[in-house]
Chain A
Amino acid sequence: MSDSELRKDDTTATTVARVAAGEWIALGAFVALALFVHQQILGPLTDAGYADGDAVNNAALFPRLIANLILGLCAIQFVQLLRRRVQLSAEFMYDAPRENALRCLVGFGILVGYLLGLPVLGFYPATVLFLLAMFLTLKTRPVWIAALVAVLLTLAIGFVFEELLRVVLPLGRFGLTL
């Protein structure tokens, strides 16, 4: 029984023919996390003198406990994966078309661009560009409608946050505000 044959609302543990590589990667990430915690305790925290002593000073006490707990849980999960017992969440059993996955990636790139552009361009120009790019990525046509919605939405949200909620939005080099 392969992943895609599972029923969409099936959340009970199921034996699968092949454990997805992502499961192993996720497990590996948690092991790495626990090791990282130990590294931080043995490195920076010990150097700063906060890894021992009484309960005030010993900032490593609890992180160490949690890191070991994670390692223990990882061991259980490791055995589960060896037995090819996998519990998949109910929500994401569908196969993603390649094209959509690509759009998701593009959307992520746009977001990164937006965060980079925000401090430089300021809220208003950056947001109009961000929205326009997102709209177009999600197949909004014609372009002028997408552009119009992007501008209006930016102004509306800017108005609510800047004028009503008095938040100081990123100014950028141009210093544009409402």
Chain B
Amino acid sequence: MFTRFLKTAAVAALLSPLGGLVHADDYPSRNIEMMFPWGPGSAFAMAQIITNAMGEELDTNITVVSTPGAAGVKSFNTVQDDDADGYTLLDGWVAPLILQPLAGNTEFTYQDFTPLWSATRVPFAIVVRKDDERFPDYATFIEYLKENPGKARYSSGSIGNIPHMVIAKLLQTEGVYARNIPYPQDGDAFKDLRGGLLDFSFNDPITFQSNKDAFKTLVAFTNEDDVAAAYDDETQTLDDLGLDIGLTGLAPSGWNWFLVHKDTPDDIVATLNTAMEAALLRPDVQEKLKAAGFLPTMYSPDQYEEIVGPIGDQIAAAKDAIAWEAEQLKK
């Protein structure tokens, strides 16, 4: 280790007193970092699962660094400002990748990054308390919202995130609205739903599993039965209820795609991709991700444009539902 240090030192001193030292042929020669856009939590641990397996493939360490801020945009800007040497990866979650650029809050779009493989998705659902007699099913729920415009209170976690857009879009489609109470920590919202302060809330499969004694789903935001089954067998999909909210496939879910700086050399990107594919295909990695409610999506880097492009279009059409909700509440 020390000899390696001396060797690098000697080479560095001889070769390049000022220029950067990017050698694709010996990549990776040191620890790699991955910027993570939220505070530490379950999604952070999932990122570590994948990067740890990638690190083993590459024979190096990949450290995940949590840099929350500006609704996730801070970590994206940080990666853009960093060197394009393949030593800084980005856990590209959909909200800062697609929604924030569409809202005009960024200078980048999803096309300003080079994709690696896609990682995982988390399907969302609307949940209510099991013992809440007002909402035996989806139809009565909408009926209630119609009779009490703007009176019901729900939470999507933060304001202006993907669950907020999806719920607002669904309610707008039904011609109803409610008040979104922001909670920076999703868990606090679920606690207040349990405690009876909130009328309904978004949820993810794992929190739902843990609160099955108290919660039931009204609708899961997906068209696929096996995705809805991540909640429970009774959970209904959008299709089951005959709903078209203009968001299909991945669009109404939370999902992440690993990214690097756009100018990263091709051979380095190729090395990373080989490692990430191998990591994702490992049965232990798949098993762990699924156990935690993060479903592996397995889209290859070539599919980035064809998958993300249409999602962008759908989100662009749906995001106005948030503004519509705010307008209704003002009246």
CB closest residue in chain B, given A159: B1
Cβ distance B23 to chain A, nearest Cβ, rounded Å? 9
Which residues from chain A contact B9 at a C-beta distance below 8 Å? 174, 176
In angstroms, Cα B60 to Cα A177, docked, is 13
Cβ distance A58 to chain B, nearest Cβ, rounded Å? 12
Query: Is there contact, CB below 8 Å, between A173 and B61?
Result: no
User: Which of A54, A124, A168, A178 is packed against the most chain B CB atoms within 10 Å?
Assistant: A168
Query: Is there contact, CB below 8 Å, between B63 and A173?
Result: no
Residue A101 CB within 8 A of the other chain: no
CB closest residue in chain B, given A171: B30
Q: A163-B1, A177-B5, A178-B1 are in contact. Are A168 and B16 (CB under 8 A)?
A: no
CB closest residue in chain B, given A163: B1
Which residues from chain B contact A171 at a C-beta distance below 8 Å? 30
Contact with A along B1-39 (1 / 0, CB 8 A): 110110011001100111111000000001111000000
Residue A56 CB within 8 A of the other chain: yes
CB closest residue in chain A, given B19: A173
Which residues from chain A contact B87 at a C-beta distance below 8 Å? 168
In angstroms, Cα B4 to Cα A177, docked, is 8
Query: Is there contact, CB below 8 Å, between B19 and A168?
Result: no
CB closest residue in chain A, given B8: A176
In angstroms, Cα B63 to Cα A167, docked, is 7
Residue B159 CB within 8 A of the other chain: yes
Q: A173-B16, A174-B13, A175-B12 are in contact. Are A166 and B63 (CB under 8 A)?
A: yes
Residue A10 CB within 8 A of the other chain: no
Cβ distance B323 to chain A, nearest Cβ, rounded Å? 12
Query: Is there contact, CB below 8 Å, between B8 and A168?
Result: no
In angstroms, Cα B113 to Cα A59, docked, is 32
Query: Is there contact, CB below 8 Å, between A166 and B31?
Result: yes
In angstroms, Cα B311 to Cα A12, docked, is 66
Query: Is there contact, CB below 8 Å, between B1 and A173?
Result: no
Query: Is there contact, CB below 8 Å, between B5 and A178?
Result: yes
Q: In the complex, which residues 76-104 of chain A have their Cβ closer than 8 Å to any Cβ of chain B?
A: none
Of B16, B21, B31, which contacts A162 at CB under 8 A? B31
Query: Is there contact, CB below 8 Å, between A176 and B16?
Result: no
Which residues from chain A contact B4 at a C-beta distance below 8 Å? 178
Residue B301 CB within 8 A of the other chain: no
Cβ distance B235 to chain A, nearest Cβ, rounded Å? 30
CB closest residue in chain B, given A53: B330
Query: Is there contact, CB below 8 Å, between A168 and B33?
Result: yes
Query: Is there contact, CB below 8 Å, between A176 and B5?
Result: yes
In angstroms, Cα B18 to Cα A177, docked, is 17
Query: Is there contact, CB below 8 Å, between B63 and A176?
Result: no
Which residues from chain A contact B8 at a C-beta distance below 8 Å? 175-177
User: Which of B13, B31, B87, B329 is packed against the most chain A CB atoms within 10 Å?
Assistant: B31
User: Which of B16, B17, B30, B180 is packed against the most chain A CB atoms within 10 Å?
Assistant: B30
In angstroms, Cα B4 to Cα A175, docked, is 12
Contact with B along A152-176 (1 / 0, CB 8 A): 0001000000110011100101111
Contacts from A to B (Cβ < 8 Å) = 54, 56, 124, 155, 162-163, 166-168, 171, 173-178
Q: List 11 A-B contacts (CB under 8 A).
A: A56-B182, A124-B5, A168-B63, A168-B87, A173-B19, A173-B20, A174-B12, A174-B21, A175-B20, A175-B21, A177-B31
The 9 closest A-B pairs by CB, nearest first: A175-B21, A174-B12, A166-B61, A168-B31, A177-B30, A168-B33, A178-B5, A166-B63, A178-B1
